Amino acid sequence: MESSLDFHKKNKKGKIEIHATKSISTRKDLTLAYTPGVAFPCIEISRNNRNSYEYTSRGNLIAVVSNGTAVLGLGDIGAFASKPVMEGKAIIFKKFSGIDAFDIEINEKNPDKFINIVSSLEPTFGGINLEDIKSPDCFYIEKKLQEKVNIPIFHDDQHGTAIVVAAAVLNWIEITGRDIRKVKLVVSGAGAAAISCTRMLEKIGIRRKNVFMCDSKGVIHSNRKDLNEVKSVYAVRKENLKTLSDVVQDADIFLGCSVPKVLTKEMVQSMSDNPIILALSNPIPEILPSLVEEARSDAIICTGRSDYPNQVNNILCFPFIFRGALDVQATEINDAMKIACIKEISKLAKEKIDFIVYEEGWNQGYLKKKHPIIPNLFDPRLIMRIAPAVAKAAMISGVAKKPIENFAVYKKNLRNYVREGYFFMRSIFLAAKRKNNIILLTEGESEKILYCIDNIVHMGLSKLIIIGRKSVIKNKIKKLKLKIRIDKDFSLINLDEKNYEKFLNKYFKSSRARKILTKNDFEKKYTYLTTLIGSLYLYENRVDGMICCTKSYNDTNDIKLITDIVGFSDKKMTEKINIVSTPNTNFFISELKDDENISVEYLKEMISIVLKKVSFLHFLSDIFLPSLEDLKDFNLDLQSRVVDLISVFRKYYPSIRITQKESCEIDLLGIARNKNISDVLLFVPKKISCKINFDLLKTFDVSESTVGSILVGTNKPVHICHKKNSVQCITNTCIYLMA
């Protein structure tokens, strides 16, 4: 609880803020942005309201609207208290689909007054996402709002869950070979989500006569006098059926949108062969997956939780369906658009696992997944598939005011909304799957390394080898709730008390023979031993690559230890490269050593080594070499001969543009936006490389380098990660080594 409160109140309060998209740094900027220049777009919009999409942010702006009457897990907490939830929804829109969103909490429970308030917001927004509004008001509000305005109205609690549930059921139907018209559906719950899910399942083929719905008072049947208009539609005529236990017998589908633990093991056992159980109550489902597995082995289960397989999460839907709707200026989100979304989610679940990296705290529960019937919500392909399908459905169904003319260009532009580094790393991931190299990680007791292994296993890549104490690693795996297993998912070089002295004596003798380290070095620094063991494994060809972690970005001791054992590939020099990937361009940054006696021959060899490593996986379009101003602290011979060096490289690499430019004049944003530039290699002095890295991360709102320090020039592949690197960076680095 305290961590959540601190998260929300630290630094700037809350979770969202506004950033300007136009610079206002001069008097001219101000006259264009505000008076008198702002009058001209106002005049254009007054002539035709649809011009507001051209001259304002409306076309990429969503309102997340709630009155706080049905907040998940909290109930009717009111408009004020619902604001943190709505802010969270707003940042999900931005993070997953690039859509700007304002949260608007309306302190009004009267449905008609609420409708009047929200409909008056139409000039501001391109769409409205209704959130956490109680049933049955939500049905009435959504219907009446859509009749009053010409922008999409989407109650996510209804349709988001319904779309994902329908996609899961379609895949289950295919797996089990059932006829959807004959399946029996039992629904626990009769709120907004339950009703909407049932309606959507009817639209994909389930017959109403085969639907049995229960609320808190039991089965909804025709003799009950307490039913509202929405519930009465699903009233069955069999008055002898009173309880959930009565109707669940021989059911093919159980859909739970109700309360925890209402479904028992005995009820599960009474269901038909190969049933599907969608237990969506959160945080505690209607039945735990472990109890379903105890009851029977043929059931497929979905929950609303991230730590179990097949998570039903509306994040799979709402960011992307709105992306497609906004991009064609749709006037509504109709059934055709929803079904297009369902089909794409269904297809993606059946495809092979893609390159998906998780940070700490995400426990996917993938190892026991018998049938992947729902895709992962972090799959970057979701926006690439769903948004175009939704946009096309809007066009075909006649609700698109601005049809897309070229879908190939549109799909390419959607790449801008995909997580940074995805396309760069995915090509490496595919190469890694083909090679299946064995990688050793020296810091096996690190929690980040264990999360990294979890990622690698999830993506179906090769087993890893780690170094550490078995007891410590087992305890950490249990603490982190990971599913990885020693000797099955990865191998362990055990450094417990029993083995430590054995390794110490064995490798100390080896290091002493090579005149590398003294015994005192080992005793004062445990890392030396793990790095030494890893280096010797690499030297003896027992592994194909190694990752070691350091506390310092400039830890030359580890590099010297590695090169003393592993050796150099060609010339006796090593360099480090950092990679920062942006949506359009990959920046490879190599730094010159702070050595005033550096020679032009050294620079030539260093560039050759780096080019060989980089071009192994990527085509370089541009190289930026340091200018004479950048080299003013280096010797005069280097300054005078670097121009000759450029001529030599232009001769050997005619397809690469080589530019000598002062680092402060390099337009990073301009390079990234230039469609003729793909991968860029920057050679800069060490003191400038930090600034280049920082500017790149700040300009593109990236938290860190895509891949950590790549050590080039060693005889075998070695990467060095800093202990502050994220799980994503370490995982990316590991995959890069595997390729």
Residues marked as catalytic: 34, 89
The residues near 386 (Cβ < 8 Å, ≥ 6 apart) are: 317, 320, 321, 323, 324, 340, 341, 344, 345
Give residues with Cβ within 8 angstroms of 358, minimum separation 6: 364, 378, 451, 454, 455, 458, 727
Written as six digits, the tokens of 249 are 């017998």
Rounded to an integer, what distance in angstroms lies between the CA atom of residue 454 and that of residue 307? Answer: 13
How far does Cα 273 stand from its chain's mean position? 36
Cα 507 to chain centroid distance, Å, stands at 42
**Which has the closest alpha carbon to 520: 443, 467, 512?**
512
Least Cα distance to 66 among 15, 14, 141, 163 occurs for 141
DSSP H or E run through 660: strand 657-661
CA distances in angstroms from 295 to 269, 292, 298, 330, listed in the order given: 6, 5, 9, 47
Contact 410, 404 (CB under 8 A): yes
Residue 475: count of CB within 10 angstroms of its CB:
12
Could you tell me the two tokens for 664? 């402060």
Whole-angstrom Cα distance, residue 41 to residue 49?
Answer: 11
Q: In angstroms, rounded to a whole number, what is the distance separating the alpha carbons of residues 306 and 673?
A: 36
Tokens of 347: 């297809």
User: Residue 93 in contact with residue 417, Cβ under 8 Å?
Assistant: no
Residue 24's identity, in one-letter code, is I
Half-sphere exposure of 587 (CA within 13 A, CB side): 31
Q: Give the relative orientation of helices 156-176 and 192-203 as an angle to the nearest 10 degrees.
A: 40
Report the phi/psi class of residue 481: left, alpha or beta, with left for phi > 0 and alpha for psi in -120 to 50: left
Q: Are strands 679-685 and 586-592 parallel, antiparallel or unpaired?
A: parallel
State the Cα–Cα distance between residues 101 and 113, nearest whole angstrom.
23
**Whole-angstrom Cα distance, residue 533 to residue 517?**
13
Phi/psi for 256 (5° steps) reads -110, 115
Question: CB within 8 A of 611, min separation 6: which ones?
Answer: 620, 653, 681
Q: What's the half-sphere exposure (Cβ side, CA atoms, 13 Å) at 356? A: 18
Q: What is the spatial distance between Cα 310 and Cα 223, in angstroms, rounded to a whole number?
A: 37
To which residue do tokens 């979304």 refer?
Answer: 341
Task: Tell me the Cα Rg of the chain.
Answer: 30
Q: Which residue has the tokens 């150099």?
A: 568
**Is beta strand 575-581 parallel, antiparallel or unpaired with respect to 707-712?**
antiparallel
* E strands in 170-258: 185-188, 211-215, 218-219, 253-256
CB 573 within 8 A of CB 605: yes
